[in-house]
Amino acid sequence: MNPQTLLEGLILSLVAIAGGAVVLTRDPLNQALGVSFFGLMLSAMFYIFQAPDVALSQMVIGAVALPLIILLTLARIRRNTK
């Protein structure tokens, strides 16, 4: 097995685990962190699978913009609850 294949297998497994973790985390705040990690893993996956354009998109979106929007949503919901 060459290192590239090994790397591919590893990152795919990590994506699978991170995805499962996002779903199974029931607390939205922890989940936001999970999504951030999941996004990062996907981004790494794209990079390893030779898709740098997509990796860059996924990085700015999945690991930064999306978690930010989620946190802001949670903040607003919490505010409303008070």
Partner 1 sequence: MKLRLTLFGLGICGLVALYGTVIAHMPGPGKMHSPYSRAINKLCVPQRHVTDAVTAVNFDYRGFDTLGEEFILFASVMGTLVLLREAAENKGPLSGDSASEPRNVRPTEAVRVTALALVGPTVVFGVYVVTHGQLTPGGGFQGGVVLATAPLLVYLADDFKTFKRITSHALIEISEAVGGGMYAVIGAIALVLSRPYMTNVLPLAQSGGIASGGIIPLISIATGLEVAAGFVLLLYAFLQKTLAERESS
Partner 2 sequence: MTTYAYVVAAWLFAIGLFGIVTSKNLVHMCLCLTVVQASTYLLLTGVGYRPGGTAPIFVNLPAGAPIVDPVVQALMLTDIVVETTVVALMLALTVQIHKKTGNCDPNATTALQG
CA distance 32 to 30: 5
- Tokens at 68, concatenated: 């930010």
Residue 66 near residue 35, CB atoms below 8 Å: yes
First to last CA, the chain: 57
Residue window 6-45: x/- pattern of binding to partner 1, with contact defined by CB under 8 A? ----------------------------------------
Verify binding: residue 20, partner 2, rule CB under 8 A. yes
Question: How many residues belong to the chain?
Answer: 82
Q: Is 42 in the site for partner 2 (CB under 8 A)?
A: yes
Given the rule CB under 8 A, which residues bind partner 2?
A: 4-5, 8-9, 12-13, 15-16, 19-20, 22-24, 26, 28, 31-32, 34-35, 38, 42, 45-46, 49-54, 57-58, 61-62, 65-66, 69-70, 73-74, 76-77, 80-81
